[in-house]
Amino acid sequence: MLKIRIFRSVLLHSLSLDATVLPHLRSLISLTTEGIFSPQDQVSGNQGAGFSSGNVWSVLQLEKIHLQEIVTDDVQLGLIEYLASFSGLRRLRLTQAPSYRTLPQMSDQLAIKFYEQALQNHIHSLDSLKINTNYEGNWSFTSHCSSIIKKCTRLTFLKLSINFEDMAEEKDDKEDSSASGNNVIWSLLDICAALPALKTLKLFSAFPEHSRGSKGGTVASKHRARANAKISRSVRSYQPITSSHAFRIFIVRDEFELRNDELGMNLAYRRVGRMREH
């Protein structure tokens, strides 16, 4: 079984998807591509013979090469069409969904196509889904993708961003049956409780849409900090807890697990530690 990892340091002009290379790709099961595609590739689609953004996914689709693992920052229509062409993917990590150069409308359209068309084919095989979102929008967990996430019953690891405006303030009455419908975090935790294999849920905030292209900044960073704090409050206040809530939750690098209070009562998600940076 063949695995390929390609980064910017690779001399791309020396790697062509031609008759010499293609036979070796028949056994390809894992592909990692990060930092190798230009903005022009992402916008226009390069259809040359080299290993470029415009043709790598179409070649894999045409040659019926069905990967089991993909790690990429090349989130474009070609990738989504490739994912929609087969089933059996086990691990998917989108490290930049999508580039800060992508227009907001195009980004949201790609996200809808991904959740509605591409992910559907892999609900019975996918065990790890990690979507690193740069900006708030449809790539984050919202109502439009809740039904498809619920169907991914083999997931052991799930990483998604949350939009600030989708998090309603916590109600005082935690027993209110309508509460989870008003808070996207509680809705997601309800869904995760129905995923029998889930071990880890990672949540994080994204930059506000108005900061797209500015590569962050003080205002955008403060927005993310407020959003992460709001995610933490929602996780800590989530109820009701059941035996199905056995998974760990990470918010940025803070780790939460089910714990009783100091009196041994009131089971809830509580902060238990902090991940080390790698």
pLDDT for 19: 67
Beginning with the edge strand found earlier in the chain, give each strand of the sheet holding 254-259 in spatial order: 2-7, 28-34, 69-72, 91-97, 128-133, 157-162, 200-205, 248-251, 254-259, 268-274
Per-residue pLDDT reduced to its tens digit, 101-143: 788 899 999 999 999 999 999 999 999 999 999 899 999 999 9
Element (H, E) at 167: none
Close Cβ partners of 220 (under 8 Å, ≥ 6 residues apart): 207, 208, 211, 214
CA 154 to chain centre: 16
CB 249 within 8 Å of CB 268: no
Q: CA 154 to CA 89: how far, in whole Å?
A: 11
In terms of DSSP bridges, do strands 254-259 and 248-251 run parallel, antiparallel, or are they unpaired?
A: antiparallel
Helix (H, G, I), strand (E, B) or coil at 141: coil
Low-confidence stretches of the chain (pLDDT < 50) are: 8-14, 41-51, 172-174, 177-180, 278
The rounded mean pLDDT for the chain is 83
Report pTM.
0.86
pLDDT for 17: 61
pLDDT for 218: 87
Close Cβ partners of 16 (under 8 Å, ≥ 6 residues apart): 49, 50, 51
